Amino acid sequence: MSDKQTLVVIGNGMVGQNFLVSLMESEISEQYEVVTFCEEPRPAYDRVHLTEYFSGKTADQLSMVEEGFFENNNITIHIGDKAESINLAEKLVISQQGVEIRYDKLVLATGSVPFVPPIQGKDRAKCLVYRTIEDLEAITTAAEHSKAGAVIGGGLLGLEAAKALTDLGLKTHVIQFSHRLMSAQLDDGGALLLKQKIEALGVSVHTNRNTIEIVDGEQHHNKLVFADGDELETDLVIFSAGIRPRDEIARACGLKVGQRGGIVIDNQCRTSDPDVYAIGECAVWENQVFGLVAPGYNMARTVVADLAGDAAEFEGADMSTKLKLNGVDVASIGDALANTEGCMTYTYQNGQEGIYKRLVVSGDGQKLLGAVLVGEASGYGTLLQYCLNDIDLPENPDSLILPHRSDESVGLGPDALPESAQICSCYDVSKGAVCSAIEGGCRTVADLKGETQAATGCGGCAALLKSVLDCELEKAGLEVNTDICEHFSYTRTDLYNIVMVEEIKTFDELIEKHGQGRGCEICRQAVGSILASYWNDYILEKSHLSLQDTNDTYLANMQKDGTYSVVPRMTGGEVTPDMLIALGEIAKKYGLYTKVTGGQRIDLFGARVDQLPLIWQELIDAGYESGHAYGKSLRTVKSCVGSTWCRFGVDDSVGLAVELENRYKGLRAPHKIKFAVSGCTRECAEAQGKDIGVIATEGGWNLYVCGNGGMKPRHADLFATNLDKETLIKYIDRVLIFYVRTAERLQRTSVWMENMEGGLDYLKSVVIDDKLGIGENLETQMQHVIDTYQCEWKTTIADEEKLKRFRHFINSDEQDDNVLFVEERGQIRPATEEEHQHLKIAEEA
Q: Which stretch binds other proteins (CB under 8 A): 329-337, 377-385, 515-523, 633-641?
A: 515-523
How distant, in Å, are the alpha carbons of 95, 104, 756, 794 from that of 76? 14, 16, 41, 59
Give the nearer residue to other proteins in terms of CB position, either 539 or 685.
Answer: 539
Give the nearer residue to other proteins in terms of CB position, either 557 or 747.
Answer: 557
Q: Name 402's Cβ contacts closer than 8 Å, sequence gap at least 6.
A: 348
Amino acid identity at 451: E
- The sheet carrying 83-87 orders its strands as 83-87, 92-95, 100-102
Give the nearer residue to other proteins in terms of CB position, either 105 or 671.
Answer: 671
Angle at 46 between CA 688 and CA 268, to 5 degrees: 150
C-alpha to C-alpha distance for 722 and 100, rounded to whole angstroms = 49
Give the nearer residue to other proteins in terms of CB position, either 48 or 558.
Answer: 558
Q: Which stretch binds other proteins (CB under 8 A): 307-315, 360-368, 473-481, 810-818?
A: 810-818
Between helix 492-502 and helix 725-742 the angle, nearest 10°, is 100
Give the nearer residue to other proteins in terms of CB position, either 522 or 720.
Answer: 522
How distant, in Å, are the alpha carbons of 574, 697, 728, 769 from that of 732? 22, 18, 6, 14
Please state the closest distance from residue 819 (CB atom) to other proteins, in A.
8
Q: Which stretch binds other proteins (CB under 8 A): 18-26, 156-164, 521-529, 764-772?
A: 521-529
Half-sphere exposure of 362 (CA within 13 A, CB side): 11
β strands within 176-254, DSSP E: 204-206, 211-216, 222-226, 231-234, 236-239, 243-245
Neighbours of 3 (CB within 10 A): 5
Q: Which stretch binds other proteins (CB under 8 A): 27-35, 55-63, 725-733, 814-822?
A: 814-822
Give the nearer residue to other proteins in terms of CB position, either 358 or 608.
Answer: 608
Please state the closest distance from residue 835 (CB atom) to other proteins, in A.
12
Please state the closest distance from residue 838 (CB atom) to other proteins, in A.
15
Please state the closest distance from residue 699 (CB atom) to other proteins, in A.
47
Please state the closest distance from residue 521 (CB atom) to other proteins, in A.
4
Please state the closest distance from residue 569 (CB atom) to other proteins, in A.
24
Contact pattern from residue 495 through residue 514 relative to other proteins, giving x for each residue in contact according to CB under 8 A and a dash for the rest = -------------x------
Please state the closest distance from residue 710 (CB atom) to other proteins, in A.
18
Q: Which stretch binds other proteins (CB under 8 A): 394-402, 419-427, 443-451, 815-823?
A: 815-823
Q: Name 287's Cβ contacts closer than 8 Å, sequence gap at least 6.
A: 258, 259, 260
Provide the 8-state DSSP code for 651.
S
Give the nearer residue to other proteins in terms of CB position, either 206 or 505.
Answer: 505
Q: Is 487 in the site for other proteins (CB under 8 A)?
A: yes
Contact pattern from residue 158 through residue 177 relative to other proteins, giving x for each residue in contact according to CB under 8 A and a dash for the rest = --------------------
Please state the closest distance from residue 609 (CB atom) to other proteins, in A.
8
Please state the closest distance from residue 811 (CB atom) to other proteins, in A.
5
Beta bridge partners of 330: 323, 374
Give the nearer residue to other proteins in terms of CB position, either 199 or 508.
Answer: 508
C-alpha to C-alpha distance for 45 and 17, rounded to whole angstroms = 9
Burial class (CB in 10 A: 0-12, 13-18, 19+), 518: exposed
Among 1, 810, 842, 845, binds other proteins (CB under 8 A): 810
Q: Which stretch binds other proteins (CB under 8 A): 47-55, 413-421, 517-525, 622-630?
A: 517-525
Among 808, 829, 838, 840, binds other proteins (CB under 8 A): 808
Beta bridge partners of 93: 86, 101
Contact pattern from residue 531 through residue 570 relative to other proteins, giving x for each residue in contact according to CB under 8 A and a dash for the rest = -----------x--xx-xxxx-xx---x-xxx--------
The torsion of the CA quartet 340, 344, 350, 355, rounded to 10 degrees, works out to -30
Q: Is 809 in the site for other proteins (CB under 8 A)?
A: yes
Among 71, 814, 824, 844, binds other proteins (CB under 8 A): 814
C-alpha to C-alpha distance for 844 and 651, rounded to whole angstroms = 63
Q: Which stretch binds other proteins (CB under 8 A): 88-96, 205-213, 475-483, 813-821?
A: 813-821
Please state the closest distance from residue 545 (CB atom) to other proteins, in A.
6
Burial class (CB in 10 A: 0-12, 13-18, 19+), 303: buried
How distant, in Å, are the alpha carbons of 1, 554, 677, 786 from that of 599? 48, 21, 12, 22
- According to CB under 8 A, which residues from 775 to 804 bind other proteins? 804
Taking each continuous run of H as one helix and of E as one strand, the counts in the chain are 27, 38
Contact 781, 662 (CB under 8 A): no
Half-sphere exposure of 403 (CA within 13 A, CB side): 9
Contact pattern from residue 237 through residue 276 relative to other proteins, giving x for each residue in contact according to CB under 8 A and a dash for the rest = ----------------------------------------
Q: Which stretch binds other proteins (CB under 8 A): 455-463, 518-526, 729-737, 837-845?
A: 518-526
Give the nearer residue to other proteins in terms of CB position, either 439 or 521.
Answer: 521
Amino acid identity at 470: D
Using a CB cutoff of 8 Å and minimum separation of 24, what contacts does 471-476 make? Answer: 471/413, 471/414, 471/415, 472/414, 472/434, 472/435, 472/438, 473/438, 473/443, 475/415, 476/438, 476/439
- According to CB under 8 A, which residues from 561 to 620 bind other proteins? 561-562
Please state the closest distance from residue 562 (CB atom) to other proteins, in A.
4
Torsions phi, psi of 235, nearest 5?
A: -90, -65
Q: Is 33 in the site for other proteins (CB under 8 A)?
A: no
C-alpha to C-alpha distance for 341 and 392, rounded to whole angstroms = 19
Please state the closest distance from residue 630 (CB atom) to other proteins, in A.
12
Find, among 350, 340, 352, 351, the residue nearest to 387 by Cα: 340
Count of residues in contact with other proteins, rule CB under 8 A: 36
- According to CB under 8 A, which residues from 816 to 845 bind other proteins? 816, 818-819, 833
Tell me the three state secondary structure of residue 827: strand
Angle at 808 between CA 806 and CA 810, to 5 degrees: 85
Please state the closest distance from residue 803 (CB atom) to other proteins, in A.
13
Contacting residues toward other proteins, per CB under 8 A: 486-487, 508, 517-521, 523-525, 542, 545-546, 548-551, 553-554, 558, 560-562, 804-805, 808-812, 814, 816, 818-819, 833
